[in-house]
């Protein structure tokens, strides 16, 4: 049996180490060796190769990166470079798209997927922002285009509050201002996980009594939810449009327009923690199985590409000698 070698960098908290062990074990059963803890923060690049520890990253058959909380610009930069030579999961282009709220919403909207109404304007064009809040009934949500976990997100309740926010924004170095219409919803959402085009799990999050954000890092809480066919179809479509092999699609229900709306598409959606599994969230095994299938397929495809290149090289050398 041909043996493949893949690399992995996965979060270890919240049950991540146990998840990693299951993935490694299932890959081993398929003749795939896994080198773990390949943190690109410790990597260097020179002479056409990226080296992490003693591992030449370009010699891997695939690289699975799954650690949202510890990504630095340096790691992301090398991730982009490595993606040119080795299949990365998620692929870099889709990952980078999902990290930008405007680019994600814009691509989804262009494809006909319902998102929140949004507007981007130059930081010098404050009047456009004021006009926007008037058009949207006096409320909007200011968001950094990057970031996760609800950080930097501010709900603006009226034009006076916007006037108070603008001096703060003037002190930042952001080149643009991004805002979304505040959606009247029931303060809960759906997080739907898609792997390789397959639905693998769903749960909900509920905002705390004194807030409107459902993010766990903002005080939100997990709740059990069963998605209907429409929700699953929307999530699959959003994942496909962004190009993410592994996606967590956040969806809310707009009570005024009576329709589902995609809020975000996440490129590193978390597995259920042990505490959440005890509550009844039982999608981890299904998600692991789909990820193992995906890694195996990518590794096989990469090896085939390498073999074809090695076969063609001597033929081309003779042809053009």
> Residue 316: which residues within 8 A CB-CB, separation 6 or more?
none
Residue 314 has a pLDDT of 52
Q: What is the 3-state secondary structure (H, E, C) of the chain?
A: CCCEEEEEEECCCCCHHHHHHHHHHHHHHCCEEEECCCCHHHEEEECCEEEECCEEHHHCCEEEEECHHHCCHHHHHHHHHHHCCCCEECCHHHHHHHCCHHHHHHHHHHCCCCECCEEEEECCCHHHHHHHHHHCCCCEEECCCCCCCCCCCEEECCHHHHHHHHHHHHCCCCCEEEEEECCCCCCEEEEEEEECCEEEEEEEEECCCCCCCCCHHHCCEEECCCCCHHHHHHHHHHHHHHCCCEEEEEEEEECCCCEEEEEEEECCCCCCCHHHHHHCCCCHHHHHHHHHHHHHHHHHHHHHHHHHHHHHHHHHHHHCC
Residue 276 has a pLDDT of 94
The CATH number of domain 4-97+285-319 is 3.40.50.20: yes
CATH of domain 185-266: 3.30.470.20
CATH of domain 117-181: 3.30.1490.20
Low-confidence residues of the chain: pLDDT under 50: 1, 311-313, 315-321
Residue 63 has a pLDDT of 98
Domain boundaries, the chain: 4-97+285-319, 117-181, 185-266
Angle between helices 284-319 and 16-29 (to 10 degrees): 50
pLDDT tens, 45-87? 999 999 999 999 999 999 999 987 678 899 999 999 999 999 9
Distance (Å, whole) CA 41 – CA 37: 11
């Amino acid at each position: 049996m041909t043996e493949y070698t893949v690399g992995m960098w996965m979060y270890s908290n919240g049950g991540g180490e146990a998840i990693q062990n299951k993935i490694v074990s299932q890959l081993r059963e398929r003749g795939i060796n896994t080198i773990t803890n390949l943190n690109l923060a410790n990597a260097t690049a020179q002479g056409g190769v990226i080296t992490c520890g003693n591992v030449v990253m370009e010699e891997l058959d695939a690289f699975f990166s799954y650690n949202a909380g510890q990504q630095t610009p340096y790691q992301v930069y090398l991730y982009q470079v490595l993606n040119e030579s080795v299949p990365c999961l998620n692929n870099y282009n889709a990952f980078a798209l999902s990290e930008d709220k405007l680019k994600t919403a814009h691509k989804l909207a262009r494809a006909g997927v319902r998102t929140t109404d949004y507007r981007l304007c130059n930081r010098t064009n404050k009047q456009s922002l004021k006009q926007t809040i008037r058009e949207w009934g006096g409320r909007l949500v200011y968001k950094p285009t990057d970031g996760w976990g609800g950080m930097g997100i501010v709900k603006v309740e009226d034009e006076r509050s916007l006037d108070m926010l603008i001096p703060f924004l003037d002190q930042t170095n952001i080149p643009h201002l991004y805002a979304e219409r505040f959606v009247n919803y029931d303060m809960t959402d759906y997080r739907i996980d898609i792997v390789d085009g397959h639905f693998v799990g769903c749960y909900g999050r509920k905002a705390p009594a004194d807030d409107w954000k459902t993010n766990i890092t903002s005080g939100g809480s997990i709740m059990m939810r069963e998605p209907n066919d429409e929700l699953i179809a929307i999530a699959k479509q959003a994942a496909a449009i962004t190009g993410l092999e592994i996606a967590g699609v956040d969806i809310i229900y707009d009570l005024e327009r009576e329709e589902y709306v995609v809020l975000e598409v996440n490129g590193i959606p978390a597995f259920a923690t042990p505490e959440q599994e005890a509550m009844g969230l039982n999608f981890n095994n299904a998600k692991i199985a789909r990820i193992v299938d995906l890694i195996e397929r990518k590794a096989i495809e990469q090896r085939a590409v390498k073999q074809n290149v090695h076969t063609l090289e001597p033929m081309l050398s003779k042809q053009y000698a």
